[in-house]
Amino acid sequence: MDLFLYEPLDLTGKSFRLLMLHPGSTGEISCDIFEASLDSDGIIPYEALSYAWGSIDVSASIIANGKTLCITKNLFTALTYLRDDHVSKVMWIDAVCIDQSNVAERGHQVGQMAGIYRGAEQVIIWLGPPTHGTNLLLGCLKELHKSWARQKSRNSLVQAQDQWTKLRQNSGLDQAVLVNLQRRGLDSLLRQTWFTRIWVLQEVSNARAASIYCGRQSVQAYMLNIAAKLVGIVPNAGCQAVLDLLPESFTRRSPRKNVLLTLLQKFRNSKASDPRDMVYALLAIASDVSQNDSGSLSSPDYFKTEEHLVQDLKTYLFLDLQYCRIIIPERTMASFLEALPRQTAAILHSVLVAGVTSHVLTLLERGKKFTVSKAVVDEIWKEEGLGTTKVLSNLAQIEHRNFHFTQEGVESSFQFSDLATTQSLLSRFGECIQINHPLAVALLRRKDGRDQILMLLIKWDKPSIPLTQDGLAALVKVIDPASLQMLLKKQTRSYQITDEVLEEASRNRKEGKIILILLDSVGDRTEFEMSGLLWLLRFFDKKELMLLLVSYFTKVSIVALGLPPDESVCWSTELVSGLGSLSNRKKIEFIRENTDPDKRFDVVAIRMEAEFINGLCVYTTFDWVSLHTSMLRHVTNSKWNI
């Protein structure tokens, strides 16, 4: 018998072939192959086959249009089970309906596959010959579907579990044996190589309806997803990703939401007999690839070599920038896909550091995600130096859902950004920013414009930017008194006036006023740590300290001991409040200006008793040990809530 020869297709339109599988239960498998068009309104209803090719050796044959057509063993087995005993079936099968020896036709037909699967009445998913376990599982799933389909809420897993339990109980089989057989049956199905094929992503995601066939048993495809939950099997990530694409599945996700880079990374371990298909199988479902573009990846082209396609892929994904060719030098599809996940971050990092806004915007439109972190800002400074301000200004103006600054990235940017850039960063990321130690350090490193940036942060109210404890400790070194007062008034959290805060404040050129503002801020949300009060002795003598304390206490009594070995009372005093706040501050400033610094270290131990203003007449006693420079090491962790 003569070999079947394909008639050429019209490659300028949407022509494709269908086959009519003749009925029969024994004997040769025969069919008729004929041309059809996706543009035709009167196209004959057909089903599309999705299956694993297996070995590409054509070791079997069927009769096509009265002539011999050689096919693979896997396809022959599938057709043996799928043909009906009495009725013809119209089907589309890629290995038969496409002339695989015609490179031009192959590219044309692969470009139409999404439309072919969308146009099918249903997609038949062939998972191989049956076992006792698969027959038992699919039979139960079919019964479940019949009873479950009558329910109004067909996507209720609880209802499915109830029906499944009843089916098991009514099966007449030992429950333990039945459960074991069902689990083994499902495990056998999920291990089929069909789940690893890269082409199934396009085939099932474009299907209007789909059925699983194993031997002569069949069931709606989405029932396989439900079966995994009913029998307690957790599919691997790749298998579950395919199950989630099945039509009518209650977990169905559209792959069109994913860009080509994401799809390549997610399904890089899938299989294809032709390595170029690892890309071509994804083009129709990638959200960033348009079939109407004239670009190098707009449609499958089997005239391209694998190396040529890899280069086109680099150009599309990363604009063929020089650092991309250095970072990913691979030329084969397998090595490129293996390197892609770990190298993508490095490439995108390089794009950001280069600071070419047009490159960033182009890649954003192609679905890339950029994050400006502290590491990126540091690298920009290393590469650009004085040009860092300009690069950050450009990046800050990019508004895209996939473009973000991290909190640390924003904080680091304040070391280099101008006023307009800072305002832009605050407008977009102000809600996640805090005036903390890293941000304060970034401001401290600025050579100019620090006060203007700081005032912008203080006045910002969309919403107000919170000040952290470590941020307060760092800022008091450089902030002016008026700004500190404004900043503290806008805060809602509690602070501790510690020796660290006061020590940093002492380095401020206006340390006296800064310290007074800190003391004046003490209230319901502010605490003095014991070490902070002791630290005041470095700057205030006993009289001034009394005036400070009396601002917050009704009555203060202090007994101080002199230097060793003379431990007699050096001085003691009692002061009752009565002066107004303004008067107290004036007296304190006067004493501060006229205090002999040597007197501040005469006291080594202080005992204080204080009556709080709240009227409860609660007396608290503290023992302080100073010992000059080492005094802070001996202070307890007691806190003074004032």
The answer as to whether 389 is a domain residue is: no
Number of other residues whose CB lies within 10 A of the CB of residue 110:
24
Distance between CA 614 and CA 624 in Å, rounded?
24
Which pLDDT belongs to residue 386?
82
Per-residue pLDDT at 493 exceeds 50: yes
Which pLDDT belongs to residue 595?
44
Query: Which residues, including other chains, have CB under 8 Å from residue 570's CB and lie 6 or more apart?
Result: 560, 561, 562, 602, 603
Which pLDDT belongs to residue 556?
52
Give the mean model confidence (pLDDT) for residues 247-267: 73
Higher pLDDT, 316 or 279: 279
Confidence of residue 518 (pLDDT cuts 50, 70, 90): confident
Give the mean model confidence (pLDDT) for residues 248-273: 77
Task: For residues 330 and 276, state if they share a domain.
Answer: yes
Which pLDDT belongs to residue 505?
82
126-140, 308-322, 348-362, 513-527: least confidently modelled range:
513-527
Confidence of residue 157 (pLDDT cuts 50, 70, 90): confident
Which pLDDT belongs to residue 501?
85
> Residues in the chain, how many?
642
Task: For residues 249 and 261, state if they share a domain.
Answer: no
Task: For residues 280 and 217, state if they share a domain.
Answer: no
Task: Give φ, ψ of 31 to 5 degrees.
Answer: -155, 165
Give the mean model confidence (pLDDT) for residues 573-594: 51
Number of structural domains, the chain?
Answer: 3
Confidence of residue 613 (pLDDT cuts 50, 70, 90): very low
Tell me the average pLDDT of the chain. 80
The answer as to whether 589 is a domain residue is: no
The answer as to whether 163 is a domain residue is: yes
The last residue of a domain, from among 120, 154, 179: 120
CA torsion angle for 626, 629, 633, 634 (degrees, to 10)? -20
The answer as to whether 262 is a domain residue is: yes
15-19, 94-98, 524-528, 617-621: least confidently modelled range:
617-621
Distance between CA 72 and CA 54 in Å, rounded?
8
Higher pLDDT, 261 or 320: 261
Please report which residue ranges of 319-356 form alpha helices under DSSP H: 322-327, 333-354
Task: For residues 243 and 150, state if they share a domain.
Answer: yes
The residue range of the domain holding 181 is 132-253
pLDDT-above-90 percentage for the chain: 39
Which pLDDT belongs to residue 171?
75
Task: For residues 248 and 202, state if they share a domain.
Answer: yes
Which pLDDT belongs to residue 173?
76
Task: For residues 111 and 149, state if they share a domain.
Answer: no
Task: For residues 174 and 283, state if they share a domain.
Answer: no
**190-241 pLDDT, tens per residue?**
999 999 999 999 999 999 999 999 999 999 998 998 898 888 899 998 899 8
The last residue of a domain, from among 338, 357, 376: 357
Task: For residues 151 and 106, state if they share a domain.
Answer: no
The answer as to whether 494 is a domain residue is: no
Number of other residues whose CB lies within 10 A of the CB of residue 402:
15
Give the end-to-end CA distance of the chain in Å, rounded to a whole number. Answer: 105
Q: Which two tokens stand for residue 163?
A: 């029906």
Give the mean model confidence (pLDDT) for residues 165-186: 84
Which pLDDT belongs to residue 532?
61
Task: For residues 292 and 215, state if they share a domain.
Answer: no
Q: Where are the beta strands (DSSP E) in 280-383?
A: 370-372
